Structure 1
Amino acid sequence: MRLCPVMRISQVSAIAMIAAAGLATPAHAQNADSAAMQAELQAMRAQMQAMAARIDSLEGQLVTAQAKADAATATSTTALATAEAAKSDTTIKWKGAPLIESKSGWSFKPRGRMQYDAGVISAPSSTGVEDGFGEEARRIRLGVEGDIPGGFGYKFEVDFAGNEVEVSDAMLTYKDGGLTVAFGQQNNFQSMEELTSSRFTSFMERAAFTDAFGFERRVGASASFHSGDMLAQGGVFTDNMSDTSNDQWGADGRIVFMPKMGETQLHLGGSVHYTDLDGDLANVRYRQRPFVHFTGTRFIDTRSFGAAKETGYGLEAAAIRGPFHVAGETFWQSVSRPGLADPTFFGAYAEVGMFLTKGDTRGYKGGIFDRVKPANPVDKGGMGAIQVNLRYDRLDLTDAGIVGGKQDGYAMSVIWTPTDYTRFMLNYGRMDYTDAAIAAANGDKSYAVDAFGARAQIDF
């Protein structure tokens, strides 16, 4: 058995003492008369005792050193344990960008999107419209989102497209079970089409009525309650952050029933909207581009007129089953004009779509369409998801003496989603106009405009 250094030194000390005693006794007995021998033995005994004392001292130093080493080891072990505990408290996931989460309830994730559009507009030459080719950075957004301990959350995003800096989202949220309360600039429950992120829409631009009726994010306070298949949303809002000098305010509410019946996801919804416009009488204007955003030309336009209030009513319906989906909405926008007849304008769309690639389906979450996640993405050796969509888009801006024109749009889109966070789109739309805002050379206001568009998109 191998002895530790302390035991070996103790044994050496004992042996030395015994040796000294054994040597001294015989020497004293046999040489009692020899003073020189006695002196020599005394000197040897003194040396042995000094050696034993030195060994005892070294033994004490070794014990002290061993104690310090044990303490240092314990401290190092504690430090490593603390570091491992701190490391395990924070996790990093990848969801298009790093998502950092801690067990204490904090999280942080950068977010953003880039959409670049290009295309061609073709209108009758007699109208004098020469848009032709156009292109733009449709959206360039950067922001952050995350959670704060206690059920709170935050979201902030800025859009840099168009050589301008505009705040898109800026809100603080609180969640408790199925209840979510939000304060700040946010969407105000206008319609399914408007609430679905531009990253996940079927076409490059949303249905015509959403833009014509001025749907946009506004500053306010809202609450959403989700329980089972039911979702109820409501809030009070002022105006967009860039226009908060206005005195207008409004209230919006939306209810959605979204049951899952076998393999079919159903969606049925309705909404109501009220806006008290800026002051006693404000100028409003309803108009819309021809299917793409990179042109400033509007072939359907009410021009500006005075109004005091706006009241809107919307209905929604959709279904998803495997690779197929259908969706449609209607919306009525009534405008109060003191002393004059009140017009009611109308917008609607109906679409069908399907995936040509096996295993792909349209995403749906929380009462809106969500991200498409290819079953066989390009980064895993597949070809991604390919989707084809058809849409009819109706907008009627003529009523009560206001002639803004009517649009019947017929559109098709092909969407390739190579990975979860990349997307490419090709769009074609034919807009048939009646009472168009721009007349042809012979005064004709009924004609068609063709629009072609393409988009490259990445988001995180």
Structure 2
Amino acid sequence: MKPSISKLALVTALVAASSPLVAQDSDTLREELAAMRAEMQAMAERVDALEAELDAAEAEASAASAQAEAATAAAQAARAEASAAIAADEAGDGTRTAFKGAPEVSTESGWSFKPRGRLQYDAGTIAAPDGTGIDTGFGSEARRARLGVSGDMPGGFGYKFEVDFAGNDIAVADAIVSYETGNTEFAVGQFNNFQSLEELTSSLHTSFIERAAFTDAFGFERRVGAGVTYAAGDVMVQAGGFSDNMEDLSNKNWSLDGRIVFHPEIGDTRLHLGGSVHYADLERGSQVRYRQRPLVHFTSDRLVNTGRFDAASEFGLGLEAAVIAGPFHAVAEGYWQMVEDPFGGPDAGFFGGYAEVGYFLTEGDSRGYKGGKFDRTKPENPVGEGGSGSVQVNLRYDRLDLNDGAIIGGTQDGYYASIVWKPTDYTALLANYGRLEYSDAAFATASGSRDYGVDVVAIRAQVDF
């Protein structure tokens, strides 16, 4: 604080200064001295007020300084807590959540959990010649309605389980426990045995509403068994032993399957070359039947159909080739199915195959590929982020021949076109047109002809997570 001004010293100085005025009239002097005293009193009071204001300001400054010190201490404590949390997470104690169509929860210790699901709804029309008795006109169905979970466990283990609610039944799709070490993965449970690029590609990522005709006609499906996959560099080898689908157990059928794929990247181009082999030993007294619908699944009519016939075993051989170059892709497969006659008669042989080309009309988009099969297409400019999604057009020729010797199952030649719009990674709309030419069809026209054509138009709305 500043020192106070002495009132007495001021008065003494003023009196000394006024000594020359002693000779003046005493009344006048008294009046001037009184006025001066009043002014000095006012000045002293003002000084006291200023000193009080200064004391208050210093007190406020002290309080603000104390608050700032407290805030600094709190910030340092918060930083310490954040550093401890980061250290704990890096040590494997934290839980992380990512969004991949649905939340995926994982920990550094090796646990992960992700809900899975898909919904595919199809609708369309079938036009066939009069008199065949085929269910023509409009049709629709929930093609797939799946829910499930998948994830990893510590030690290299994984799991996947999905149930399909489409139709009138509840059916298990995948039910897998896996173990991965180095370049090798072992799997036990129900899953697709190793047949065909088209069959192993998820229904979420196919370029047409239904897969190539031979995959369904020859009974490709998930089976209970054990398999191993070895993948290193550009080579993948798969092999396994299987029984039958869960819904068809128990029986004595068993099969062995193997597949090899060479899939190098040459510049910006992906090349795929593969082959598969299948052998199934069938229980004594077994019969097989090969048949197929006209492109869409919502009809129960199979226009090519061998009917049931006796079989001791099946042997299948498949070849695969594909290329992905920017927006363009091409793919072709052939599959030969041989059936052994249990009574020593001639074996029956059938063929299915297809050739396809496709092109993205949207800039920057390309068909996905992963693990020896086609994978998810992710639009470069999805809807919701200022873009229009991806648009792909495709053409396919699909051949199925179920005639051999005394077995007349008919032939089906399909000429297909499709357009696929993916607004986002996890949504899609597909439109298909198919012209199918039949020879020796299972249904005859009113005139008795079994050689004719059928037109199919279909659409699909799809979402998954």
Same fold (TM over 0.5): yes
What residue is the counterpart of 1:250 in the other structure?
255
- Cα distance between partner residues in 2 of 1:94 and 1:128: 49
- State the 1:243 CA deviation: 1.0
- State the 1:126 CA deviation: 2.4
- State the 1:343 CA deviation: 0.7
What residue is the counterpart of 1:102 in the other structure?
107
What residue is the counterpart of 1:122 in the other structure?
127
From 403, 407, 417, give the equivalent of 2:412. 407
- Cα distance between partner residues in 2 of 1:308 and 1:76: 74
Q: Which amino acid aligns with 2:288?
A: V
| 1:373 maps to 2:400 | no
| 1:186 maps to 2:180 | no
**Equivalent residues in 2 for 1:434-453, closer than 5 Å:** 434-453=439-458
- Cα distance between partner residues in 2 of 1:130 and 1:205: 19
What residue is the counterpart of 2:98 in the other structure?
93
- Cα distance between partner residues in 1 of 2:178 and 2:137: 44
Q: Which amino acid aligns with 2:97?
A: I
| 1:458 maps to 2:463 | yes
Question: Can you list the C-alpha shifts for 1:306-330, whole angstroms capped at 9, x where unaligned?
Answer: 1110000000000000000000000
- Cα distance between partner residues in 2 of 1:407 and 1:449: 10
SS at match of 1:200: coil
- Cα distance between partner residues in 1 of 2:352 and 2:406: 18
What residue is the counterpart of 2:73 in the other structure?
none
- Cα distance between partner residues in 1 of 2:274 and 2:81: 57
What residue is the counterpart of 1:272 in the other structure?
277
Q: Which amino acid aligns with 2:310?
A: G
For the 8 Å contact 1:315–1:331, the answer to whether it is kept is yes
- Cα distance between partner residues in 2 of 1:81 and 1:387: 48
Q: Which amino acid aligns with 2:222?
A: R
- Cα distance between partner residues in 2 of 1:304 and 1:168: 26
What residue is the counterpart of 1:134 in the other structure?
139
SS at match of 2:167: helix
- State the 1:245 CA deviation: 1.0
For the 8 Å contact 1:342–1:400, the answer to whether it is kept is no
From 310, 314, 321, give the equivalent of 1:317. 321
- Cα distance between partner residues in 1 of 2:82 and 2:413: 69
- State the 1:407 CA deviation: 0.6
| 1:305 maps to 2:309 | yes
Question: Can you list the C-alpha shifts for 1:83-142, whole angstroms capped at 9, x where unaligned?
Answer: 666666211000000011101000000111000000001100121223211000000000
- Cα distance between partner residues in 2 of 1:204 and 1:76: 56
The runs of 5 or more residues in structure 1 that have no matched partner are 1-74
For the 8 Å contact 2:135–2:299, the answer to whether it is kept is no
| 1:161 maps to 2:166 | yes
| 1:428 maps to 2:433 | yes
Question: Can you list the C-alpha shifts for 1:52-95, whole angstroms capped at 9, x where unaligned?
Answer: xxxxxxxxxxxxxxxxxxxxxxx999998776666662110000
| 1:397 maps to 2:397 | no
The runs of 5 or more residues in structure 2 that have no matched partner are 1-76
- Cα distance between partner residues in 2 of 1:237 and 1:219: 6
SS at match of 1:379: coil
- Cα distance between partner residues in 2 of 1:130 and 1:150: 53
When Rg is computed on C-alpha atoms for both structures, the one with the higher figure is 2
- Cα distance between partner residues in 2 of 1:448 and 1:80: 71
Describe the shift of the 1:360–1:77 C-alpha distance in structure 2 as closer, same or farther (beyond 3 A). closer
SS at match of 1:127: coil
**Equivalent residues in 2 for 1:211-230, closer than 5 Å:** 211-230=216-235
- Cα distance between partner residues in 1 of 2:83 and 2:268: 49
Alignment TM-score, normalising by the size of structure 2: 0.81
Q: Which runs of 4+ in 1 moved over 6 A?
A: 75-84
Q: Which amino acid aligns with 2:382?
A: P
What residue is the counterpart of 2:36 in the other structure?
none
Q: Which amino acid aligns with 2:293?
A: R
Name which of structure 1's ranges 125-134 and 413-422 shifts more when overlaid on structure 2: 125-134
SS at match of 2:131: helix
From 149, 153, 168, give the equivalent of 1:148. 153
SS at match of 1:125: coil
Q: Which amino acid aligns with 1:404?
A: G
Q: Which amino acid aligns with 2:144?
A: R
**Equivalent residues in 2 for 1:326-337, closer than 5 Å:** 326-337=330-341
Describe the shift of the 1:380–1:244 C-alpha distance in structure 2 as closer, same or farther (beyond 3 A). same
- Cα distance between partner residues in 1 of 2:246 and 2:134: 34
What residue is the counterpart of 2:238 in the other structure?
233
- State the 1:244 CA deviation: 1.5
- Cα distance between partner residues in 2 of 1:320 and 1:167: 33
- Cα distance between partner residues in 1 of 2:257 and 2:449: 40
- Cα distance between partner residues in 2 of 1:172 and 1:82: 36
- Cα distance between partner residues in 1 of 2:362 and 2:80: 55
- State the 1:292 CA deviation: 0.3
- Cα distance between partner residues in 2 of 1:80 and 1:421: 35
- Cα distance between partner residues in 1 of 2:392 and 2:162: 29
> Would you say how many aligned residue pairs link Structure 1 and Structure 2?
386
- Cα distance between partner residues in 1 of 2:194 and 2:174: 14
| 1:351 maps to 2:356 | yes
- Cα distance between partner residues in 1 of 2:357 and 2:246: 35
Alignment TM-score, normalising by the size of structure 1: 0.82
- Cα distance between partner residues in 2 of 1:440 and 1:275: 37
- State the 1:163 CA deviation: 2.4
Q: Which amino acid aligns with 2:451?
A: S
Q: Which amino acid aligns with 2:120?
A: Q
RMSD: 1.7
Q: Which amino acid aligns with 1:447?
A: Y
- Cα distance between partner residues in 2 of 1:129 and 1:157: 34
Q: Which amino acid aligns with 1:303?
A: G
- Cα distance between partner residues in 2 of 1:370 and 1:144: 19
Q: Which amino acid aligns with 1:320?
A: I
- State the 1:338 CA deviation: 2.2
SS at match of 1:378: coil
